[in-house]
Structure 1
């Protein structure tokens, strides 16, 4: 879908002439003649699964769900890692169309490595394909804000959100909530139309202790308390009946053990390849050795994993048509780790991991909505994460950028 060139030019020119304060960008004023829409907030709780809610006392999640609509589960994109999935939620694109192929990877054209922990990469728009929903909104006169979201630090067509924050895990969760509530306050300085909010600690505990651990349960209860605090802040700001909230996660979590390990260095010579990524999806770029030779060695030993040439990847993965994706893809079965003997001896394996096939139930994730645009006290069927961009565009009454999603696939959440 294409925007009118004149309109784009007007918004871009207006944005560029505003004075930028630290981590703040100008936003063209909304035309009062345009039709109004309720504001929208997308909250991500990294690594949250339905079963975490079901097995714990979570009164605030329960209230949120009962007053809105919960999907049976959400299907993430492949690979089921944090950065690819958050960027697909933001852009409505599959990974092969936005290029964030993992949390960390090397780009041979840019001659640089992308890493989720490196601020320079977060600010560099060359890494980030597609157009995130907050930029789509800003282009069309809406005010957007981000209190953390992968990619929100970068600039697109000269635009960012009106307010955004560099990721800093030490910022208290209550501070994030207070800031977002203030930015959405209709009496406040910003009066946001769209925003994002992100929490990582459920995922961290899942990695450290495994998805079935009491530590994960405690993290889920803590998140439930924060959700209750957030709803109180909305009440105080008079937003409880006005804000459309999309509560999502990016992936599930699977148990791992040291009994389920694939030693790739016992199958191929690692001196012959570059390992773009390791586990549970090994992305392999042969060096001087022929691709077929490496692939055939892996294929002959195919046990507890599947191996594909890039151009033979099943279409359902949407993971072949991008130059960053290397020639060979090796996908571990759920619960298995791909490593080498030295790394295993030094580090072992973490108790919980994601990244596996996105159609494995352990990778399915949480999705629920609540607000004036949505039905109440209903459960809907599964939803694919690439459709959320279209849903938000519809709620904000803006024209979406080109994407892989479909509004028809998320209409079941909306009131008639």
Structure 2
């Protein structure tokens, strides 16, 4: 009975500060976190370009040999994996484009960035989870950071325009200055910052081009500017910095046989209700009622570099097809090959979206700051694990996810306790619930 009384008093004490009161003031000693993504930065882009600032990050912090993105290796799905810790079939942002197979609607990338229901479909990204636990967050151009989740928006956010110039280095520095003010003046705890390069240049000129090499040099200069601004803003001992990307880039094969659906002899678009093609190496189809087997048989051997699956037979290791948004037929091509639908509209010299086990799809991971070890190189890991690492750095309780904290925990110093206490010393609701259950069980025993 004495133990029961002690537990009851402890539970009442834990609950009292949180009972309907305002969110307590933030702990000034709490470390902040900046996640930066340079879209399409392939894992080996620093090997043919001088990158002194990224190299400095590796010497002073943590570098992964490479990071494996989720499949499908395109921008919005992979970025959402980073902030949810979920495979794409589990978070549901399965494409850059919003589409509806019933009314045949398809919207391009930029309009899709603002459609709440495409992003808010059951998975809470780290911004919202952190805010629910008393922190303040920001998103600058990061995919998914400008919509509403369960009625809540990110504290500070900026959305890029449809005609945004991804290459403007002067604007890059201005964006960094804004983010620094978010940390110092608005007291944000977490910010995600997105740059659309070197992806755009890699698409246009190819990953082996001089233009891509020049853009990587610009990225590195920007990393140097960012680290200098962190220091001048007085954040060097309070801000953990992670620099990564969503996917790599592969050279498009323009000399071999093209994957052209309009030239396949036994395939007809008359048998299709809905198509999502002409978007790199992947595609989805909805055959008309009763036409599934006909369409599948016409496509399964139509091209030696095209792999077509019924949804239920799609490789489980890719963690992609087990989602209601995925159509009955799913396909992808081998590295270097892209899909052409009714017309040949693909002109890129570089492309991504291929299987994530291909080396050209691997990307970078660098981290430096007060909670990261120095001079540590780690073995490759999947991008699903970055979310748990970020939650640990922020001291928040993560949502259910597919990652494991143990994968990247060795990158942190022993001083990073990652306390699960919320601001003001409150315990998260899951802990309180556990204590409540313990009290009830003990009462039954007593």
User: TM-score, length-normalised on structure 2?
Assistant: 0.82
Distance 1:146 1:54, change over 3 A: same
Query: Which residues in structure 2 correspond to 1:360-371 (within 5 Å)?
Result: 360-371=358-369
Is the Cα–Cα contact under 8 Å of residues 79 and 143 in structure 2 kept in the other structure? yes
User: TM-score, length-normalised on structure 1?
Assistant: 0.87
Q: Which residue of 2 aligns with 1:122?
A: 114
Listed one character per residue, the Cα deviations across residues 95-144 of structure 1 (whole Å, up to 9, x for unaligned) are 1112111111422368743532116x524245433111010100000011
Is the Cα–Cα contact under 8 Å of residues 123 and 151 in structure 1 kept in the other structure? no
SS of the residue aligned with 1:180?
A: helix
Report the number of matched residues.
Answer: 386
Distance 1:295 1:111, change over 3 A: closer
Is 1:263 the counterpart of 2:260? The answer is yes
Over alpha carbons, which structure has the higher Rg? Answer: 2
SS of the residue aligned with 1:122?
A: coil
Q: Which residue of 1 aligns with 2:72?
A: 79
Listed one character per residue, the Cα deviations across residues 21-70 of structure 1 (whole Å, up to 9, x for unaligned) are xxxxxxx74445x6953101100000002221111111111111111111
Q: Which residue of 2 aligns with 1:51?
A: 44
Distance 1:294 1:398, change over 3 A: same
Query: Which residues in structure 2 correspond to 1:66-215 (within 5 Å)?
Result: 66-108=59-101, 112-118=105-111, 122-129=114-121, 130-168=123-161, 169-170=164-165, 172-185=171-184, 188=185, 190-215=186-211
Separation (CA, whole Å) in 1 of partners of 2:323 and 2:234: 46
Gaps of 5+ in 2: 1-13, 415-446
SS of the residue aligned with 1:244?
A: strand
Distance 1:399 1:114, change over 3 A: farther
SS of the residue aligned with 2:275?
A: strand
Q: Which residue of 2 aligns with 1:386?
A: 384
Q: Which residue of 2 aligns with 1:4?
A: none
Is the Cα–Cα contact under 8 Å of residues 85 and 387 in structure 2 kept in the other structure? yes
Query: Which residues in structure 2 correspond to 1:395-410 (within 5 Å)?
Result: 395-410=393-408
SS of the residue aligned with 2:221?
A: helix
Distance 1:293 1:35, change over 3 A: farther
What value does the CA root-mean-square deviation take over the aligned residues? 2.2
Separation (CA, whole Å) in 2 of partners of 1:219 and 1:108: 38
Gaps of 5+ in 1: 1-6, 15-27
Separation (CA, whole Å) in 1 of partners of 2:307 and 2:234: 53
